[in-house]
């Protein structure tokens, strides 16, 4: 049979043009659609297709995890670059983070080809060639290398392959010169003058505030109005920063903003990175990327493709980090009372974390995720790689929002000597608090009858450029599971479903509906804080998400639906019936035929249990640790001990 593997809508249109050149009828081909956006388009146009479920399963994900882990271990052993300030870890982790994401997507495509071959050993493969690697660290949708992978797979397994676009080549965009924002004398002078806004003040260096840190900034400022927040991950031009800072200053002065918040592009302060130091970094990267056999999978060597992406975008990204290291050293050296606080351990915030530790100062990582301890070896691989730039990063301290986070951190501290983060129990800092919100009013605001029972589905999804496996569902798995839930809710009277879309989800509402069963019982909620949906929720449904922990912290029970029998977020009992042990307040169900029973059980149990009798002690600290954050910040900004941590 002839299999056409397509990711994007424009590729499908190119295939239709190919057919118009006398290459047969659409019915002669099996279309395998990779991306849900394409699937929604095909649904809308009545075109038959297959998604990835038959070709990419749990076994595929396990194989990718094992293969990428070997590469990660090689990178850890062979990444030799250390900058002139003694920083190494931030570059190695950043490089490994992005290379792993490249491999995840490329190896997934090769797994899909392998699944097609397993279904039909004499298959003919078709894919769309062309495109180039972009000058960004992340993969862009413009990067089209599927035909090149298909050609390599077909060659390795003696299959027929056709590039229906006529060009299977992939080119690399030129690396941008300079690697860092240029700054003329005036900009440098003005940037250094900006330091006077906070040099003598109590300064907390953070990523750009967003919604994640705003509430915490308000609380810290309420305790001490002298605290200033400075975002150091800003990379755009000087004019915007100048206007933003001026507005922020006047807003705080007039009381319109409860905290003082500025942004700086640290690379405008100075640029004193030697050519030799840049060369040493790029040579270190080249020595790893060019190693033969390291990136081979399913008979295809992906080294050339990965090297093109590294050359086009990742090298420049790492060189910008190197400039940030020098400029942050310059800035930190002029500060009197300061600390670093972040919810991300990538890019400039990775540099700041490691640099702060080397300077003997304090830094605090505040997780906006709530990862449990690993559930099995595959979850551990994925969790470890994710959290090396997260809760297991180079920050000196980690804020523990819950016993779940505490268990996670202690598991890795016991197992790995390099995990040295100091625990700071704070309780929830950046999670939704809806304990005192009126549930009926929240339902009305969302257009739901106040008497209805509300189930909210919230799970973590990742786009093509950032896919992670095993403890996250693929997008096709996400829609398959959600379709089961929609059907289940549709059969029940007085029940409504909120589908809370993960931030950054690329499908619009109509495209989402095209991939779900028709129903008037659900609404799609994507804008505004998660608390708007959570405050209306009676039962949360998820596979894996921080929303699980947020719900349990607010005494909202959780139904974990794992259609793939793969991942049990909390390793609780498995639902077989209402008498199954350890299935409340968290109920784990791993069979489609038992989903309806599990939903019925959770709805009945939720309505019967009074909130005051809801025991969430495993998921929320019984003691109030909120003052620990204020004490930590006060101690960090006031009590300096030269030569060591305060």
Quick one: pLDDT at residue 639? 53
Q: What is the DSSP letter of 361?
A: -
How does pLDDT run across 414-453, given as a tens digit for each residue?
A: 999 999 999 999 999 888 889 889 999 999 999 999 999 9
**How high is the pLDDT of residue 195?**
78
Nearest Cα residue to 84 out of 252, 393, 322, 258: 322
Core vs surface per residue 543-577: b (16+ CB within 10 A) or e: bbbbbbbbbbbbbbbbbbbbbbebbbbbebebbee
Q: For the chain, which domains are there?
A: 201-271+321-427 (3.40.50), 439-613 (3.40.50.2000)
Angle at 544 between CA 539 and CA 546, to 5 degrees: 75
**Spatial CB neighbours of 403, under 8 Å, sequence gap ≥ 6:** 617, 618, 619, 620, 621
* Whole-number pLDDT of residue 645: 43
Give the pairing of strands 160-163 and 124-127.
parallel
Regions of the chain where pLDDT drops below 50: 175-180, 641-646
Query: Which single residue is written with the structure tokens 């990444």?
Result: 79
Q: Which residues pair with 260 in a beta bridge?
A: 228
Tell me how far apart the alpha carbons of residues 617 and 116 are, in angstroms, rounded to a whole number: 48
**Which residue from 514, 362, 421 is spatially nearest to 36, judged by alpha carbons?**
514
Contact by Cβ (8 Å): 281, 322: yes
The predicted structure's pLDDT at residue 51: 98
Residue 296 phi, psi (nearest 5): -90, 135
Cα dist from 221 to 204, 211, 216, 639, whole Å: 11, 16, 8, 19
Cα–Cα distance between 197 and 1 in angstroms, integer?
68
| Phi (first) and psi of residue 454, to 5 degrees | -110, 125
Nearest C-alpha neighbor of 474 from the set 51, 66, 153, 149: 51
What's the pLDDT at 646? 41
| 240 CB neighbour count, 10 Å cutoff | 12
Question: In terms of C-beta distances under 8 Å and separation of at least 24 residues, what long-range contacts does 474-480 make, across chains too?
Answer: 474/52, 474/56, 475/35, 475/36, 476/36, 476/51, 476/52, 476/53, 476/56, 477/53, 477/563, 477/564, 478/543, 479/36, 479/515, 479/516, 480/53, 480/563
3-state helix, strand, coil in the chain (%, to 5): 45, 15, 40
* 8 A C-beta contact, residue 376 and residue 366: no
The closest alpha carbon to 144, from 125, 162, 161, 169, belongs to 169
The per-residue pLDDT for range 370-385, each reduced to its tens digit, is 789 999 999 999 999 9
The per-residue pLDDT for 187 is 79
């Amino acid at each position: 049979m002839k299999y056409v593997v397509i990711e994007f809508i424009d590729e499908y249109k190119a295939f239709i043009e190919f057919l118009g050149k006398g290459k047969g009828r659409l019915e002669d081909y099996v279309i395998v659609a990779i991306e849900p956006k394409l699937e929604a388009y095909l649904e809308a146009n009545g075109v038959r297709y297959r998604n990835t479920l038959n070709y990419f399963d749990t076994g595929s994900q396990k194989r990718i995890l094992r293969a990428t882990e070997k590469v990660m271990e090689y990178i850890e052993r062979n990444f030799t670059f250390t900058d002139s300030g003694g920083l190494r870890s931030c570059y190695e982790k950043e490089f490994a983070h992005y290379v792993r994401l490249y491999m995840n997507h490329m190896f997934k495509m090769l797994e899909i080809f392998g699944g097609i071959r397993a279904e039909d050993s004499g298959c003919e493969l078709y894919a769309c060639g062309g495109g180039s690697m972009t000058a960004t660290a992340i993969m862009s949708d413009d990067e089209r290398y599927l035909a090149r992978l298909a050609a390599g797979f077909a060659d390795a397994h003696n299959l027929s392959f056709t590039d229906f676009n006529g060009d299977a080549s992939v080119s690399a965009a030129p690396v941008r010169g300079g690697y860092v924002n240029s700054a003329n004398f005036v900009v440098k002078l003005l940037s250094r003058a900006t330091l006077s806004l906070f040099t003598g003040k109590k300064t907390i260096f953070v990523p750009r505030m967003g919604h994640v840190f705003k509430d915490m900034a308000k609380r810290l400022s309420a305790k001490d109005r002298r605290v200033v927040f400075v975002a150091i991950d800003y990379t755009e031009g000087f004019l915007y920063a100048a206007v933003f800072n001026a507005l922020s200053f006047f807003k705080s002065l007039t009381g319109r903003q409860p905290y003082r918040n500025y942004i700086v592009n640290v690379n405008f302060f100075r640029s004193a990175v030697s050519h030799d130091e840049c060369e040493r970094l790029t040579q270190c990267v080249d020595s790893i990327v060019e190693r033969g056999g390291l990136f081979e999978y399913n008979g295809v060597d992906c080294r050339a493709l990965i090297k093109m992406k590294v050359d086009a975008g990742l090298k420049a990204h790492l060189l910008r980090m190197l400039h940030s290291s020098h400029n942050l050293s310059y800035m930190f050296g002029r500060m009197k009372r300061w600390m670093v606080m972040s919810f991300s351990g990538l890019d400039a915030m990775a540099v700041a974390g490691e640099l702060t530790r080397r300077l003997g100062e304090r830094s605090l990582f505040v997780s906006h995720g709530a990862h449990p301890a690993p559930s099995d070896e595959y979850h551990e691989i994925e969790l470890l790689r994710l959290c090396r730039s997260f809760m297991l990063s180079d920050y000196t301290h980690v804020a523990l929002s819950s016993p779940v986070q505490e268990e996670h951190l202690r598991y890795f501290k016991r197992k790995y000597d390099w995990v040295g983060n100091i625990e700071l129990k704070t309780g929830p800092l950046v999670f939704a608090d809806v304990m005192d919100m009126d549930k009926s009013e929240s339902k009305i605001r969302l257009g739901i009858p106040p008497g209805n029972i509300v189930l909210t589905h919230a799970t973590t999804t990742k786009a093509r450029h950032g896919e992670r496996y095993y403890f996250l569902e693929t997008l096709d798995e996400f829609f398959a599971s959600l379709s089961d839930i929609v059907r289940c809710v549709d059969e029940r009277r007085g029940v409504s479903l909120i589908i809370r879309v993960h931030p950054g989800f690329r499908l619009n509402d109509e495209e989402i509906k095209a991939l779900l069963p028709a129903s008037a019982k659900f609404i799609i909620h994507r804008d505004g804080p998660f608390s708007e949906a959570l405050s209306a929720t009676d039962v949360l449904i998820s596979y894996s998400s921080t929303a699980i922990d947020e719900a349990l912290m607010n005494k909202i029970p959780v139904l974990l639906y794992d259609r793939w029998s793969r991942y049990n977020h909390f390793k609780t009992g498995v639902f077989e019936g209402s008498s199954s042990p350890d299935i409340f307040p968290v109920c784990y169900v791993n069979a489609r035929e038992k989903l309806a029973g599990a939903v019925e059980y959770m709805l009945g149990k939720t309505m019967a249990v009074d909130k005051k009798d809801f025991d969430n002690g495993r998921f929320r600290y019984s003691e109030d640790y909120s003052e620990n954050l204020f004490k930590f910040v006060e101690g960090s900004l006031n009590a300096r001990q030269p030569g060591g941590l305060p």
